[in-house]
Amino acid sequence: MASAGLGALLVCTEPEVRYFTGFHTPFWQSPTRPWFVVVPSAGKPIAVIPSIGGPSMSSTWIDDVRTWSAPQPQDDGVSLLTECLREVAGPEGQIGLPMGPETHVRMPLNDLDLLRASVGGFVDATDIVRSLRMVKSEVEIEKHRIICGIVSDAFEALPSILSIGMTEREAFAAFRAEILKCGADDVPYLVGATGPGGIGDIIRQPSDRRIDRGDLLIFDTGSTHDGYFSDFDRNFAFGSAPRDAADAYAAVWEATEAGLGACRPGMTTTEVFTAMNRVLERNGSIGNDVGRMGHGLGMQVTEWPSHTASDDTVIEENMVLTLEPGLNWAPGKAMVHEENLVVRSSGPELLSRRAAATLPII
């Protein structure tokens, strides 16, 4: 912040507020109230929040908790926040706010316009928050390791839980229950699909379709332990595996190996992308809709950076990343693999238990 000339930094979304304060609650589901944290260039952050959050915020490491009774549409924290920002930044000091990719400002636009006018504008502070959050501490890595272990256990139990004749809806419910039974705090993200011989849309919610012999199934879940996510998928076939699907599975497994080989400090996300993409192209890829082949992982199911052809982020030690190569081998037929890892000085350390090298059959 000092080198960027910032006197104060304003954050206002769930992961940003939690990152700087430890404030952890699902209360963010409610869109009614805005929440703010002001980070000074030296000293502890200050919370400027609705009074309903006062007791919880006061139990974190934050000492200075300023509250107003919300909802109060006439002035929902705007004047209290303006005063705090000016006090922290000084009358002429610049104030940072994340305004770049993967960020948004969680307050009504009318109030944001008032705030910008009253504090004299913001400068983009995305890089400050991004660079902090992309590299994890050992404490954060341990939370990832725990949830990735739990979800690995749940995936390994699937062959004894799922069977031909179940509906997608029943399969989703059984998998969600298994993840919780294995010890996850929550399963905020669960998508999947089944289909005869191939699956086109991999971010679907369950239908009442019954699983049939020859079907493929994909489950992709972001589950949490103490607010930190896993994010990986697994694929299965029922009864027998169609030859082209088994080949596609082997190709994405091999692409993941290539990604693991490239995931070292000093390499870039683009080099990781290229290593995986080369394998997919060699195996008949017709391109896909996903737009990237993996990403950062943390307090959100996806975080910066992205493995794309142009992202070019330099990989650093203790980044937690996913590798997610997807092969579309025919229209409406996609096979996506995903693994989670932490980057160590010597290379990747897997957090998810590596998928089987050949398509598992239930």
Rule CB under 8 A: which residues touch a second copy? 13, 24-27, 29-33, 50-56, 59, 67, 69-73, 76, 97, 99-110, 112, 122, 124, 126, 173, 176-177, 180-181, 186-191, 200-201, 203-205, 222, 289-292, 295, 300-303, 306, 308
Coil vs helix vs strand at 192: strand
Give least dist CB 345 to a second copy, A.
28
Name the residue among 36, 40, 73 with its Cα closest to residue 53. 36
Q: Which one, 235 or 269, has the nearer CB to a second copy?
A: 269
What distance in Å separates the CA atoms of residue 353 and residue 339, rounded to the nearest whole number?
8
Coil vs helix vs strand at 275: helix
Are 342 and 358 in contact by the 8 Å Cβ rule? The answer is no
Q: Which residue has the tokens 């590596």?
A: 354
Give least dist CB 337 to a second copy, A.
16
What distance in Å separates the CA atoms of residue 221 and residue 337, rounded to the nearest whole number?
12
Give least dist CB 216 to a second copy, A.
15
Q: Which one, 101 or 159, has the nearer CB to a second copy?
A: 101
Q: Which one, 251 or 301, has the nearer CB to a second copy?
A: 301
What distance in Å separates the CA atoms of residue 313 and residue 146, rounded to the nearest whole number?
27
DSSP 8-state code for residue 220: E
Burial per residue of 212-243, b for 16 or more beta-carbon CB atoms within 10 angstroms, e otherwise: eebbbbbbbbbbbbebbbbbbbbbbbbeebbe
Give least dist CB 356 to a second copy, A.
26
Q: Which one, 20 or 122, has the nearer CB to a second copy?
A: 122
Q: Which one, 161 or 250, has the nearer CB to a second copy?
A: 161
Q: Please, is 303 exposed, middle or buried when counting C-beta atoms within 10 Å of its C-beta (0-12, 13-18, 19+)?
A: buried
Give least dist CB 131 to a second copy, A.
16
Question: 107: which 2 tokens?
Answer: 């307050």
Give least dist CB 25 to a second copy, A.
5
Give least dist CB 120 to a second copy, A.
16
Q: Which one, 52 or 246, has the nearer CB to a second copy?
A: 52
What are the residues whose beta carbons fall under 8 Å from the beta carbon of 319, sequence distance 6 or more? 134, 135, 136, 296, 342, 343
Q: Which one, 105 or 241, has the nearer CB to a second copy?
A: 105
